[in-house]
Every structure is written in C-alpha cells, then in structure tokens.
Amino acid sequence: MYVYADNAATTAMSQTAIDAMLPYFKDNFGNPSSLHSVGQAAREALDNARDKVAACLGCEAREIYFTSGGSEADNQAIISAARLGARKGKKHIISTAFEHHAVLHTLAKLEKEGFDVTYLDVRQGHNITAQQVKDAIREDTCLVTVMYANNEIGSILPIPQIGAVCREAGVLFHTDAVQAAGHLHIDVKEQNIDMLSLSGHKFHGPKGVGALYVRRGIALTNLIEGGAQERGKRAGTENIAGICGMAAALEEACAHLDENAAKVTALRDRLIEGLSKIPHCALNGDPVNRLPGNVSFCFEGIEGESLLLLLDMKGIAASSGSACTSGSLDPSHVLLAIGRVHDVAHGSLRLSLCEYNTEEEIDHILAVVPEVVQYLRNMSPVWRDLQTGKRQYIL
C-alpha cells in the first residue's frame, strides 16, 4: 500500500479536470485572440472557465484574472495594493508571521523599498483575531494581506471578521486562499474580500495555473507586460487547457464541498486522535478552526527529515514543516512563528488528506507512524538525554 498524504503540497488531478483539458491540446488549439472561428472556440472556452471560477467565489467574471498559479496571484495582488497605497502616501501593510513565502518574500521586497510591514503574532491559538488586525491598522495602512488557511498547520483564519474590519477602515484586504479554495465556503462579497489568490493544483486541477479575484475598481499593476490578455493586466497567450482544467476542478470541488469536508474531517480526526497517543508530541495549528485535511504534529527527540524518508519507505508520502534549502536545515518559519523552539520544530510531520484517502489508509498511517517515531527515538542521542534527565522535555 502506498498512501499519498501530502495534498497540501499538491493534489492528484481529477478525471473531470483531465477530461476538461484534453480537447485544448489537439482539436481546439486556437489562440483566443484570433478572430477566426478556431480562435473564437478557444475564446468561448476561456469565457466559460472564467464564469465557472467567478460562480465558485461569488463574484463577476470580469473580476477574475488568470495567472500562472498562486505565487503569481499573491505577488500581483500585493504589489498592486502597494503601488496604489504609495500614490496616497500610505506605505504600511499588515500581514501575519506564518504566511506562505510567495507573500512573505514579496513583502520583504517592499520593505526594502521603504514600506513598513506589521507581522501579526500567531502564537496565541496558532491563529490571529480580527481584533489584532483592527488594533494594527494605522492612518497610513494601505493593505491587509492574511492567508485564508495555513498550508502547514491548517489554521483557518477569521476571514469574514477581518474583511469587516478592513471594509470599515477603508483598507484593501487581500487573502491567499490557495489552501481554502475548493475546500471551504468562500463568498468574496459576503466576506468583504477585495483580492483573493487561488491555485489549480491544490484542488485536483493542473499545476502552473491560478487565478486572482480583484474587486471591480481596484487598479492592478502588471507583473508581465505585453499583449492585452486578461483585460490588459496579465500579458501572454492564455493557458487554455490549464485554465479549463482548473475551472472544471474548482466547479467539481465546490459542488461536493460539504460531503468532501465531512469525509476528510472524519479521517483527519481519527488520525489526530491516534497520533496524539505518541508520548511527547504536540498538535500544531488551531485545533478547532482547522482545514479538513490537515494533521500537523511535532515529536520531541526526532528529525523530521529522517521520519519522512522512513515513512516513504513504508509507503507513506508526507511532509515535514521544515524547508531544507541550499544545504542548510532551517526549521519551518511557520512552526517558529507559532512559538515552537528550534529542536521541537525540527521534529515535525504534516499529513494532508483529501477525499481520495480511505479508512484503510488511515489504519496504515496509524500502524506505521508510532513505530517509526519510536525507532528513530531509540537511535537519537537527544532522546537519550531527555530520558536520562540531562535535557528537559518541552512537549
């Protein structure tokens, strides 16, 4: 048995999404900007896809811009709001300490240009409150950008409440909803969201395609210059197959949202309950307001990387929070942001489920993970020191 439990990293494509893409590789290969009927057939597919995405978010089709994915959508939303703010002398932005790097690195770039960014503390409940946002808003705040749900630890942020706070203060509100779209109920009008990013491959659509919702009247800044595609705001011949695949996947996910959430939540809760029995571990993320598919733990006395390799050998694809970049083993900024110390943050495990997972797969994970954790602890000098009292347990 091989269990794929890394759906926060990417998902398998649904048959619906694949079927929706195939015609645009061969028979219907036109360029939507062409005036002849081959081009116009592609134009029709593009319009149709835009309608579907808009229907899933509760907005108008003309408020949807297709992008190359979640990262590009995040970049464009934040840069656009910053440019609009700067024109009015407003150069303060509010975000959180546990955003995705697509947001954090864009904000870091703006800080170098003289913007001031407040990163809200996420240690309390591994989440933020709308009150924190309200308290952080200043005269010169031009943007609040906070994620809809966290990709590593699963916390769902109080988005409708934050939307209300921002609307009242007259501050633009962007949310990175890459983990939420197709998984949680989103209504951008009801929830007072001005800009929202999503990505096809996180809800059984293709990779390399995403969308940015922008409320009518907000002027976007181009990241890519060229032709007049996407209302002149994102140049380049449209990825028709990808866009159609993403729209079909989102439509399917939204049509089955409640039943999928109920199924996945039940699997998740069994997994959390079972893994909680492992001694000296802790659940990461908001225990109540939590993505249906997210299970995230820190285990004391082990290295997340070794755990992942052994789990892969035992037929489980999982993820650790830590990003191993350029040879340095830095623990995840998300786990550090919620207050995990370095040693503990290194021993992290994220299992992210979807509706394709089964009860039998959960049984397999519950049989394997405690055994592998114990095996690694038996070899760990840190664990020995904890047991002999030379080091103190934190968890």
Ligand X SMILES: *Cc1c(COP(=O)(O)O)cnc(C)c1O
Q: Which of 6, 63, 176, 230 binds ligand X (CB under 6 A)?
A: 176
> Tokens 């949807």 identify what position?
64
Start-to-end C-alpha separation, the chain: 32
* HSE-CB of 241 using CA atoms within 13 angstroms: 15
Q: Strands (DSSP E) along 266-358, which ranges?
A: 281-283, 294-299, 316-317, 323-325, 328-330, 348-352
Q: Which of 100, 280, 290, 350 binds ligand X (CB under 6 A)?
A: 100
Does residue 71 interact with ligand X by CB under 6 A? Answer: yes
Mark the segment that binds ligand X (CB under 6 A) among 114-122, 138-146, 175-183, 345-353: 175-183
Residue 148: phi, psi to the nearest 5?
-75, -45
Structural contact between residues 172 and 194, judged by C-beta atoms closer than 8 angstroms:
yes
The nearest distance, CB 383 to ligand X, in angstroms, is 32
Does residue 159 interact with ligand X by CB under 6 A? Answer: no
Count of residues touching ligand X (by CB under 6 A) = 14
Residue 254: phi, psi to the nearest 5?
-70, -35
What is the DSSP code string of 122-161? Answer: --GGGS--HHHHHHH--TTEEEEE--SB-TTT-BBP-HHH
**Where would I find the H helices in 298-389?**
304-313, 333-337, 342-346, 359-379, 381-388
- The site string for ligand X over 105-144 (x = CB under 6 A, - otherwise) reads ----------------------------------------
Catalytic site residue from 142, 244, 281, 324: 324
Does residue 210 interact with ligand X by CB under 6 A? Answer: yes
The nearer residue to ligand X, 70 or 182, going by C-beta atoms, is 70
Distance CA 63, CA 51 (A): 10
Does residue 13 interact with ligand X by CB under 6 A? Answer: no
Mark the segment that binds ligand X (CB under 6 A) among 63-71, 228-236, 298-306, 312-320: 63-71
Whether 281 is catalytic: no
The nearer residue to ligand X, 90 or 202, going by C-beta atoms, is 202
Distance CA 372, CA 375 (A): 5
Q: Which of 11, 199, 348, 352 binds ligand X (CB under 6 A)?
A: 199
Does residue 70 interact with ligand X by CB under 6 A? Answer: yes
Does residue 275 interact with ligand X by CB under 6 A? Answer: no
- The site string for ligand X over 332-371 (x = CB under 6 A, - otherwise) reads ----------------------------------------
Q: Which residue(s) pair with 29 in the sheet?
A: none
Does residue 182 interact with ligand X by CB under 6 A? Answer: no
The nearer residue to ligand X, 151 or 357, going by C-beta atoms, is 151
Using alpha carbons, list the distances in angstroms from residue 252 to 14, 15, 207, 246: 9, 10, 17, 10
DSSP 14: P
Active site residues: 324
**Residue numbers at the binding site for ligand X (CB under 6 A):** 69-71, 74, 100, 102, 147, 151, 176, 178-179, 199, 202, 210
